Structure formats: C-alpha cells, structure tokens
Structure 1
C-alpha cells in the first residue's frame, strides 16, 4: 500500500505535493491544515486520515486530536505535536507527527517516529518536505520527498 505522509500545509497544497498524493492509496496528514478546502481536495484524491493541529481552529473541531489506523499491516498513531501523544497509545508500529516543520525518520525502542516536515509555506529557511511510504505485510519503507525551493 502506497502512502503519502504530510503535515503543516498551513493553507497551501502545492501542485508538486498534489502530484505525489495522486500516486497514493491513502493520505496521512499530521495537522495544521488550516482550511476545509485542503481537506476536501485531499479527500477527493485518496482515503484521508487526518488530525487537528494547533493552528486548526473552530472550522476543524470535528477533526480528532489523535488517530490510530492500520494500513498495509502497519499500525500508525497520528498526532500533531509528539509531546501530546496519548498515554499508552497501545500496540503501534509508527508515530506520525508534525508541528516542528523538521523532517524526522528514526527508530527508537522498536517504534518508528515519522515527521514529514512541512510542505506548506517555507519558513526559517527550512526544507519543504513530505514522505512517501510503502506499507505491506506489517513492514514499512519510507522515502523523503523534497520540494525545490523555487516551486510554487
């Protein structure tokens, strides 16, 4: 199962990102979406699993704070800020989070921590990034996607 993993779009869904989303079987977004229009656009592309970020205000009240989902035999917990990970998230294989706008892909104590970075407006001279992943038979392979700074 091919997964697009992104976070912190902050009201900007770049055409380059949309092209990657179109190749996904499912989309995981770790919050700070900022508009319902972006939710709708992503949901039109593939099944969508999202959580609310600190910048997702009243319009996003129906979006959960955290979400656990199993795709391709891999169990993910999504939360915007990893410091707000629910206590005892259960048997999970990977934590998908955002908030810092910094790309993270590391394994600690058998748990995979994934922060796709931000693919929304560029700030603090950081990279514009997201992830594409392949999940199958309980295993996951992750690829970092970097959007060129000159992109829209």
Structure 2
C-alpha cells in the first residue's frame, strides 16, 4: 500500500504536490492528533507542523514528517512524503518539490 503524506499546505495545494500524490492508495493531510499505544506497539509516528522533513528510524519505529508543501519558509525545502507499507514493514521517502 502506498500512502501519500502531505502537511503544512496552509490551504494552498501546489500542482506539483498533486502530481506526487497521484497513485496513492491513501493520502494523509495535516496529521495532528496521535493516539500512541502505551505498550509501544507501533511501527511509525507521523507528524507535521514544523515544516522540517524527517525520515528516521529510532528503536524500530519510523519517525516521519513530510515537511512543508507551501511556499518556501526560511531556507527549508518544499517537500512531501510517501510511505510504502507491505508485509515486510514500512519505508518512508521524502520528495522535494520543484520551486
């Protein structure tokens, strides 16, 4: 299953962002509420808001932030993300959009 992850659009959807999301089985947008299992039985934590992309494994958990897909803020790149989920687990990818 392919999951498109986009955050921090501030109600502005870039055509380049839509092109990357095309073909996704599921699209997550501006994920803000997380229900974290106190027993730690999860494979990925997905968050946005900071505009800083992150695709990092810590202790068998993927911490994933697609970054920001709005006009450039500060010197951060314009990005969104993609997760691939299959029987083997989950893999994340950060995709930088052209300016």
TM-score per shorter chain, which class? 0.7 to 0.9
Residue in structure 2 matched with residue 122 of structure 1 by the alignment: 72
Residue 46 of structure 2 corresponds to residue 102 of structure 1: no
Higher normalized helix content (fraction of residues): 1
Unaligned runs of 5+ in 1: 32-50, 53-64, 68-85
Is the Cα–Cα contact under 8 Å of residues 105 and 113 in structure 1 kept in the other structure? Answer: yes
Unaligned runs of 5+ in 2: none
- Moved beyond 3 Å, runs of 4+: none
Larger radius of gyration: 1
Residue in structure 1 matched with residue 6 of structure 2 by the alignment: 6
Is the Cα–Cα contact under 8 Å of residues 134 and 141 in structure 1 kept in the other structure? Answer: yes
Residue 61 of structure 2 corresponds to residue 93 of structure 1: no
- Looking at structure 1, the residues matched to 21 and 76 of structure 2 have their Cα atoms a distance apart, in angstroms, of 21
Q: Structure 2 length as normaliser, TM-score?
A: 0.86
Give aligned pairs, total: 99
